[in-house]
Amino acid sequence: MAAAGRSSPVSAWRRLQERIAPRLVAWPFPLAVLLLWYLGARFEWIAPQVLPSPAAVWATLLDLLRTGEIWGHLQVSMTRVFAGFAVGLAVGGALGVAMGLSPTFKDYVYPLFKAFSQVPVLGWLPLLMLLVGIDEALKIILIAKAALVPIALNTCKGIQGVPTRYIEVARVLRFTRWQLLTKVVLPSAFAPIWSGVRYGFTHAWLALVVVELLASSEGIGFLIVYGRQLFQLDVVLAAVVVVGIVGYLLDKALALVELRLTRWRRAGF
């Protein structure tokens, strides 16, 4: 019989399986796609000029990393996405808080906001090109718009979902409006608000690539267009791989921040 407080080898193995199994389940499909890609290039089911082999794409990616070309484009893209996301976070957060706290304000603003959110990023591109040109302002505005919508909606939803009893207790304690907002409402609505932040950053990253594909002379999106114009599909695919990896890592970083913040909040209670 195992000693009290000490897990048996069987239970430890089961916990290890529960931890590893979900990660293993995610691997077969991408590996199958990679194998199909390799076979298609190996047996030339598609012309090599159209579908370079994985080895050629990998070699091109290493060359771009070695020469530093990819780092220059990535730095430009990261600067744009963080600037646009910061604007979207500020405006979307303020708008979401206002709509969540004031039903009257929401009644006035929400219909127009809903119509605004239904227009995709590319729908605003022609108008904004006429108003602000094709410089950095255009890209930051479009990225901010992409981030603003999910942040505002999730912030509003989170605030409206705060239990009424929390508000009543705060009023009994005679909290000021600022104390009510910072000590009760925002902490209680943290989970949906942070979900909006993560969705907002994901949308901002996607909008960045789209904008750079259409109106840019540098950045990861421009590198994709540049490779297509020169019919260098290995460069295109290498840039696509970088876009996917960077987007995945950024989302994982936000997930780690969320985990750290939720641990802090649980410890605080």
pTM given for the model: 0.80
The pLDDT value given to residue 185: 83
In whole angstroms, what is the distance from residue 81 CA to residue 74 CA? 10
Query: Is residue 109 a part of any domain in this protein?
Result: yes
- Please tell me which residue, 142 or 2, carries the higher pLDDT value: 142
What number is the average pLDDT over the span 191-217?
Answer: 86
Query: Is residue 214 a part of any domain in this protein?
Result: yes
Task: Give the structural domain span for 66.
Answer: 53-268
Res. 17 pLDDT band, cuts 50 70 90: low
Segment 137-147, tens digit of pLDDT: 888 999 999 99
Query: Is residue 78 a part of any domain in this protein?
Result: yes
Query: Is residue 129 a part of any domain in this protein?
Result: yes
Residue 20, pLDDT > 80, answer: no
Q: How many domains does the chain have?
A: 1
Beta-carbon count within 10 A of 77 CB: 26
Is residue 174 within 8 A of residue 88, CB to CB? The reply is no
Query: Is residue 236 a part of any domain in this protein?
Result: yes
The pLDDT value given to residue 5: 47
Reading the block at residue 46, the tokens are 């598609």
Query: Is residue 253 a part of any domain in this protein?
Result: yes
Residue 78 sits in a domain whose CATH number is 1.10.3720.10
Percent of the chain with pLDDT over 90: 17
The pLDDT value given to residue 21: 61
Query: Is residue 219 a part of any domain in this protein?
Result: yes
Long-range CB contacts for residues 25-30, cutoff 8 Å, separation at least 24: none
Is residue 147 within 8 A of residue 84, CB to CB? The reply is yes
Segment 82-140, tens digit of pLDDT: 999 999 999 999 999 999 888 899 889 988 888 888 888 888 888 888 888 878 888 89
The candidate with the shortest Cα–Cα distance to 92, out of 197, 236, 234, is: 197
Residue whose token pair is 């931890």: 19
